[in-house]
Amino acid sequence: MPSALINVPKRAKRGDVIEIKTLMSHIMETGYRHTASGSVVPRDIITSFACRYNGAEIFRADFFPAIAANPFITFFTTATESGKLDFEWIGDKGFSETASASITVE
């Protein structure tokens, strides 16, 4: 069961606006909840997400406790050249996940 899902068009024409979709499985525990015995459930969230297109950062987001579990992020960019998109999620408790996809731009 993959923890990261990404959807990047395999092919695009140069200059096309393309949609990119990502979904990361994560509990996104707010840190505001208490257990039945009264102790606080420690915060455990993804704190940042970034996407690089051939090394250049094209999208970044900071996450906070109000973001629901399994964050689904979708955004648009312009297809400029063939290459690779790298995705990175960083969070509490040393959470770090990456994923990548290739695109051919004609």
Partner 1 sequence: MAVTRHQTRRDLVRAAAVAAAAALACPAFAQAAPRVAVIGGGFGGAACARALRRLDVGLQVTLIEPSKTFTACPFSNEVIAGLRELSLQQFTYDKIAAEGITIAAQAAAKIDVLARTIGFADGTTLSYDRLVLAPGIDMRFDALPGYDEAAAERMPHAWKAGEQTLLLRRQIEAVDDGGLIVIAVPAAPLRCPPAPYERASLIAHYLKTKKPRSKILVLDAKDNYSQQKLFENAWKELYPGMIERIGLSQGGRVTSVNPATNEIVTDFGNYTAAVANVIPPQRAGRIAEIAGAADRTGWCPIDPVTFASKLVPNVHVIGDACIAGGIPKSASAASAQGKACAAAIVNTLAGRPLDPPRLDGACYNIVAPGYGFSLKGIYQPKDDQYAETDVTTSPLDAPPDVRQLEAEQAADWFKTLTVDTFG
Q: Which of residues 17-56 bind partner 1 (CB under 8 A)?
A: 21, 23, 25
Q: Is residue 58 a contact residue for partner 1 (CB under 8 A)? A: no
Which strands make up the sheet holding 4-7, listed edge to edge? 4-7, 17-24, 72-78
Number of Cβ atoms within 10 Å of the Cβ of 24: 24
Beta bridge partners of 5: 23
Give 90 or 101: the residue with its C-beta nearer to partner 1.
Answer: 101
Q: Is 10 a residue that touches partner 1 (CB under 8 A)?
A: no
- Residue 64 tokens read as 């906070």
Site residues (vs partner 1, CB under 8 A): 1-2, 5-7, 21, 23, 25, 69-70, 72, 74
